């Protein structure tokens, strides 16, 4: 099995593309282009952003972080203050961002931008305090501790039933549990089954999915997987109909 293609969000010196066998991670790190195999074997050097933040927000934040000219053009926009404080990377700046978020009653993209600044500042503080450099990693769906949240869609060889759905949940829960991972959610959409897996960095997410599929002979071997966003039913239908462009997260044996 291998991905037919992958999608990349390019950010100068701030993006690392991580391949855990079959699944491509779009991730942002405080180190430049660090191969996944070179990350610490344990999660002591990794801090994952738990919030679900759209990749476009990270792109905008790092654009202003690295381009002083672009930052100067937004003037008194609160984003300028968030970037300035994040870049400072002190405990005082971290507390200041926290207070701005608490008092600002933020929502949507404004809140996500502020949370990105908060996390970046926190990791800079940790890097200064600890002997081992910390890596800041995020996908659009967030994660927990050493686990990245992944959306997976699988389809049946024939019409799916509630019985198929229950067997799929059992199979994928078993395989996730055996790999320090978690089946966080599962839903039956009549023409496909969606799974939310918190996949441990210690294991290839593709191994979990393949093992689950092997237990469910009624499922197709191809699957759709992403850590960027939750797709709509229409998007999954387009995937099944072969209508997606070449830059989609579609995986085939």
In order, the DSSP letters of 129-186 are H-SSPPEEE--TT-EETTEEEEEEEEEESS---HHHHHHHHHHHHHHHHTTT-EEEEE
pLDDT of 25 reads 33
Q: Which tens digits make up the pLDDT trace of 15-47?
A: 222 222 233 333 333 322 223 233 334 445 566
In order, the DSSP letters of 64-84 are HHH-HHHHHHTTT-HHHHHHH
Give the integer Cα–Cα distance in Å for 253 and 91: 49
Asked if 229 contacts 244 with a C-beta cutoff of 8 angstroms, the reply is no
Spatial CB neighbours of 192, under 8 Å, sequence gap ≥ 6: 153, 154, 155, 156, 160, 236, 240
- Does domain 143-252 fall under CATH 3.40.50.2000? My reply is no
Residue 177: pLDDT above 50?
yes
pLDDT of 170 reads 97
| Residue that wins the pLDDT comparison between 169 and 130 | 169
Residue 219: pLDDT above 50?
yes
pLDDT of 2 reads 28
pTM over 0.85: no
Residue 249: pLDDT above 90?
no
- List the chain domain ranges: 9-137, 143-252
Tell me the mean pLDDT in the region 185-203.
93
The pairing of beta strand 219-226 with beta strand 143-144: unpaired
Which tokens in the block code for residue 192?
């496909």
pLDDT of 247 reads 47
Containing 195, the helix (H) or strand (E) segment is strand 193-200
pLDDT of 124 reads 83
Give the integer Cα–Cα distance in Å for 202 and 48: 14
Tell me the mean pLDDT in the region 165-180.
96
Residue 207: pLDDT above 50?
yes
Asked if 232 contacts 194 with a C-beta cutoff of 8 angstroms, the reply is no
Residue 71 pLDDT class (50, 70, 90 cuts)? confident
């Amino acid at each position: 099995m291998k991905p037919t293609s992958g999608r990349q969000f390019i950010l100068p010196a701030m993006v690392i593309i991580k391949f855990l066998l079959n699944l491509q991670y779009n991730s942002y790190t405080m180190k430049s282009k660090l191969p996944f195999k070179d990350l610490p074997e344990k999660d002591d050097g990794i801090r994952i952003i738990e919030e679900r933040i759209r990749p476009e927000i990270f792109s905008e934040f790092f654009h202003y972080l690295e381009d002083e000219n672009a930052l100067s053009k937004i003037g008194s926009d609160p984003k300028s203050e968030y970037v300035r404080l994040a870049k400072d990377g002190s405990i005082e700046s971290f507390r200041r961002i926290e207070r701005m978020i608490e008092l600002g009653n933020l929502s949507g993209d404004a809140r996500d931008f502020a949370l990105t600044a908060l996390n970046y500042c926190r990791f800079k503080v940790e890097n200064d305090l600890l002997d081992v450099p910390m890596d800041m990693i995020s996908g659009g769906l967030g994660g927990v501790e050493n686990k990245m949240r992944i959306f997976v869609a699988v389809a049946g060889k024939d019409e799916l039933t509630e019985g198929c759905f229950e067997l799929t949940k059992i199979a994928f829960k078993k395989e996730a549990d055996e790999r320090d991972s978690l089946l966080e959610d599962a839903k039956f959409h009549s023409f496909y089954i969606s799974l939310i897996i918190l996949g441990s960095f210690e294991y290839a997410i593709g191994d979990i999915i393949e093992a689950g599929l092997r237990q469910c002979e009624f499922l197709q071997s191809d699957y759709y997987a992403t850590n960027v966003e939750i797709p709509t039913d229409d998007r999954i239908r387009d995937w099944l109909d072969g209508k997606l462009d070449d830059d989609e997260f579609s995986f085939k044996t």
